[in-house]
């Protein structure tokens, strides 16, 4: 129990005092996760969209593959990437191991299946009538695809948030690929693992609370974007009526 009380007090202290070391670690975590998610979005949204909307041979097989990749263990991803970017690996000459980029590679691989699968599910459940209507009104294939994506945007945002949650909370790949180097590749999760191994349980828990707070703020932000968008559309639809009144 005293760990929990100590942790809460410590977390409040760390946040209020803006402890520079902790802020640096937290900022690095956010940065790496954000970059990973941007890359994962660039790969996962188009693939998920294609799998969700279009019918083609092998689609269900690919769907199973994507769903299987959802359960990739972080340590396995870490190990696989490690063996590629180690100096002895095929990509060794780029010197990527134990740099932030190594973490980004690992986390992108972890996040991409999540973004893909959730995008796939979101677009699969879309209203087919809309597609037919759009096509009958003379929409091009690209226009129709864009229309569908717009329709699924909340769910796609949700996919990005879920992916972000996965990568900012994972420790296996970050530890193995980044090496937990202070001031360079130490993220919140690897710092938590380190402090735990040093027996600094209250401090480790405090860092965990900060991690949760970050996720919370990210969720609030995304929610805000969705809300504003939603309300905007609503007012747009209603303005003519208000004009009549």
Partner 1 sequence: MSGRLRKLVLVMMVVLMAASGALAAERLILATTTSTENSGLLAHLLPPFEEKYNVRVDVIAVGTGKALELGRNGDADVVLVHDRVSEDAFVEGGYGVNRRDVMYNDYIILGPDSDPAGVRNAKSAVEAFSLIAKAKTPFVSRGDDSGTHKKELAIWAEANIEPAAPWYMPVGQGMGPCINIAGEQNGYVLSDRGTYISYKTKTDLVIVFEGDPILFNPYGVIAVNPELHPHVNYEQAMNFIEFLTSDEGRALIESYKMEGDQLFYLYR
Would you tell me which residues interact with partner 1 (CB under 8 A)?
30-32, 34-35, 38, 86-88, 92-93, 95, 97-100, 150, 153, 179-182, 184-185, 196-199, 225, 228-229
User: Where would I find the beta strands (DSSP E) of 10-57?
Assistant: none
Residues 6 or more apart whose Cβ sits within 8 Å of residue 68: none
Q: Tell me whether residue 66 or residue 148 sits nearer to partner 1 (CB atom).
A: 148
Q: How far is the CB of 111 from partner 1 (least distance, A)?
A: 14
Q: How far is the CB of 3 from partner 1 (least distance, A)?
A: 11
Q: How far is the CB of 169 from partner 1 (least distance, A)?
A: 19
Here the tokens at position 235 are 């007012």
Q: How far is the CB of 152 from partner 1 (least distance, A)?
A: 12
Q: Tell me whether residue 63 or residue 123 sits nearer to partner 1 (CB atom).
A: 123
Task: Report whether 109 contacts 81 (CB < 8 A).
Answer: yes
- The backbone region for 58, taken as left when phi is positive above 0, alpha when psi lies in -120 to 50, beta otherwise, is left
Q: How far is the CB of 198 from partner 1 (least distance, A)?
A: 5
- Helix 201-244 to helix 188-197 angle (10° resolution) is 150
Q: Tell me whether residue 100 or residue 106 sits nearer to partner 1 (CB atom).
A: 100
Q: Tell me whether residue 116 or residue 185 sits nearer to partner 1 (CB atom).
A: 185
φ/ψ of 169, rounded to 5, equals -100, -5
φ/ψ of 240, rounded to 5, equals -60, -40
Q: Tell me whether residue 50 or residue 179 sits nearer to partner 1 (CB atom).
A: 179
State the burial class of residue 19 (Cβ atoms within 10 Å of its Cβ: 0-12, 13-18, 19+): middle
């Amino acid at each position: 129990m005293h760990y929990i009380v100590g942790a809460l007090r410590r977390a409040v202290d760390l946040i209020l005092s803006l402890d520079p070391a902790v802020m640096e670690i937290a900022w690095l975590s956010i940065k790496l996760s954000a970059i990973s998610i941007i890359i994962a979005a660039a790969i996962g949204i188009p693939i998920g969209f294609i799998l969700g909307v279009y019918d083609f041979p092998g689609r269900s097989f690919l769907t199973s593959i994507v769903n299987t990749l959802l359960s990739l263990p972080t340590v396995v991803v870490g190990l696989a990437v490690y063996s590629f970017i180690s100096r002895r690996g095929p990509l060794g000459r780029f010197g990527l191991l134990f740099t932030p980029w190594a973490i980004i590679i690992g986390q992108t691989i972890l996040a991409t299946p999540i973004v893909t699968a959730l995008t796939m599910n979101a677009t699969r459940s879309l209203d087919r009538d809309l597609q037919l209507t759009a096509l009958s009104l003379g929409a091009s294939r690209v226009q129709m695809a864009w229309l569908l994506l717009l329709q699924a945007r909340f769910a796609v945002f949700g996919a990005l948030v879920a992916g972000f949650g996965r990568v900012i909370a994972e420790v296996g790949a970050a530890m193995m690929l980044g090496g937990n180097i202070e001031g360079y590749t130490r993220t919140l999760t690897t710092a938590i693992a380190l402090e735990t191994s040093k027996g600094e349980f209250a401090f480790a828990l405090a860092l965990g609370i900060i991690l949760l707070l970050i996720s919370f703020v990210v969720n609030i932000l995304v929610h805000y974007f969705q809300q504003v968008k939603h309300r905007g559309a609503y007012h747009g639809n209603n303005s003519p009526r208000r004009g009549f009144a």
